[in-house]
Amino acid sequence: MSEKRQFFGTDGVRAVANRHPMTPEFVMRLAQAAAVVLGGKGEGGERPKAVVGRDTRASGEMLESAIAAGLNSAGVDVILAGQLPTPAVAMLSEQLGANFGIIVSASHNPFTDNGVKFVHGNGRKLNDKTESAIERLVLGTEDTPRPEGRGIGRITKLADGVDRYVAHAVSSMGGVRLDGMRVALDNAHGASSFTSALALEQLGADVQVFHSEPDGFNINEECGCTHSEEIERIVRQCQAEAGIAHDGDADRGALCDELAIALDGDELMAIAAESMLRKGTLKHNTLAVTVMSNYGLDDLVSRLGGRVIRTGVGDRYVLEEMHARGLNFGGEQSGHIIFGDWATTGDGLISGLQVLRIMKETGEPLSELRKCLKKFPQCARNLRVRAKPPVDQLVEAQKIIKETEKKLGDYGRVLLRYSGTESLIRLLVEGRDVEYLEAQADKIASAVLAQIG
């Protein structure tokens, strides 16, 4: 069990901007605490340094300033990278030899929200233990160290962050070009507005750009990867061979085929995993996914001589498993895809490019490539409950679940978990026989409702 945290969620601290805990006062304190936990000592006795980047929200300027002030007051030099995707800040933290990086972003949330997330100097996300250590300092009564004189941190601005990141993304293609390929691009008025089109153009693609005019208030507004209907619309409009849609900080990517049908993260991982297994480039022949991914992935990968391992929900848990096992590929159904040879976190641009690369190498359109994944049928139930006792205390439901899992064997699963924000319990039964799934889902739901409905 991970330590319960008060402010950190699955991806940093996130809230309505200028409302606690996303106020300048709080994020300054958060930065000071991070300086103690992550700062360490700079090389050769120099001050530690941190890279700070942000997405396009209007509140980002205010919070970036507070973070920089907090870091400087704790003796950390700050490199302001400006408006850049989250994976770009992670890459720059490693490339510039920083002790850590900070991203000011609320990802796919509306512009009214904002957030703060951290990466180590190697570009990797923090684990629960490290985030808890930062929280304890924030909530403690003692002041963090305050150097004086020459010990106070300084601020510099990075002029070529976009160029560095774009060059890195282009290099991930290994010389494969996209000359003449028409690609529709939805930047969600977010951080990818400054990077993704440049990379695609350098690779020779005919890029049709949409939602790439950020004004601080239109980020994710009826566009981006959480609005798949929009990338489908613009692919039809442009008669594109493929479409790529990002979220606000571009750590996610959704693709759309030439028939204007969007793909989910499982389909993208299936296409990439099949290609990597055939080439022999998937380390340990293993793909890391969360418990939310369809079991059709397991079926595909096992038939090709590989295996799938599963983690809890959240791309950082996938990343932790990848690092622990020495894997180079994993991701989430939601579109956080990690090509570990090129990125230390989910990267919407690099994952999109890698799929386009497979299209070029095989000569196959996305509508054909996606057919490699035969999704298992699923039956879902969202049940309203009056209480949330531990799931293992739902005695009758657990009895039926065990019977169902035994019957499904290695080709199906049952997931039963509470919603984190509503008085709901979510049930998912997946397997090959739809009639059996429906019947078992009804039995489990009835047992749950009889006890806590």
**1 within domain boundaries:** no
Residue 212's identity, in one-letter code, is S
Residue 2 lies in a domain: no
Total structural domains in the chain?
4
Give the HSE-up count for residue 55: Cα atoms under 13 Å, Cβ half-sphere: 36
Catalytic residue selected from 107, 228, 293, 351 = 107
Assigned domain for 174 exists: yes
Judgement on whether residues 107 and 151 belong to the same structural domain of the protein: yes
Q: Give the residue from 133, 158, 183 where a domain finishes.
A: 158
- Could you list the pLDDT tens digit for every one of the 453 residues in the chain? 345 678 998 789 999 999 999 999 999 999 999 999 999 765 567 899 999 999 999 999 999 999 999 999 999 999 999 999 999 999 999 999 999 999 999 999 999 999 999 999 999 999 989 999 999 999 987 778 899 999 999 999 999 999 999 999 999 999 999 999 999 999 999 999 999 999 999 999 999 999 999 999 999 999 999 999 999 999 999 999 999 999 999 999 999 999 999 999 999 999 999 999 999 999 999 999 998 899 899 999 999 999 999 998 888 899 999 999 999 999 999 899 999 999 999 999 999 999 999 999 999 999 999 999 999 998 989 999 999 999 999 999 999 999 999 999 877 889 998 876 678 999 999 998 999 999 999 999 999 999 999
Are residue 89 and residue 51 in the same domain, yes or no? yes
Q: What is the reported pTM?
A: 0.90
Pair 187, 247 in one domain: yes
Is residue 94 assigned to a domain? yes
Q: Binding site membership: which residues?
A: 107, 247, 249, 251
Active-site residue 107, yes or no? yes
368 found inside a domain? yes
Question: What CATH number is given to the structural domain containing 411?
Answer: 3.30.310.50
- Backbone φ, ψ for residue 206 (5° rounding): -90, 100
Inside any domain, residue 105: yes
- Domain residues for the domain of 217 are 164-256
Q: Which of 346, 372, 398 is the last residue of a domain?
A: 372
In a domain, 30, yes or no: yes
| CA neighbor of 305 nearest in space, from 333, 332, 273 | 273
CB atoms within 10 A of CB 392: 9
Residues 234 and 142 placed together within one structural domain of the fold = no
Rounded to whole angstroms, the Cα distance separating 448 from 386 reads 11
Does 48 lie in the same domain as 24? yes
The size of the chain, in residues, is 453
Residues 152 and 134 occupy one common structural domain: yes
Quick one: 449 exposed, middle or buried, by C-beta within 10 A (0-12, 13-18, 19+)?
A: middle
Q: What's the alpha-carbon Rg for the chain, to the nearest Å?
A: 23
Which CATH number characterizes residue 342's domain?
3.40.120.10
Task: Evaluate whether residue 141 is within a structural domain.
Answer: yes
* Residue stretches of the annotated binding site for Mg(2+): 107, 247, 249, 251
273, 299, 413: which is closest to 351 by C-alpha?
Answer: 273
Q: Both 20 and 134 in a single domain?
A: yes
Largest CA distance in the chain: 73
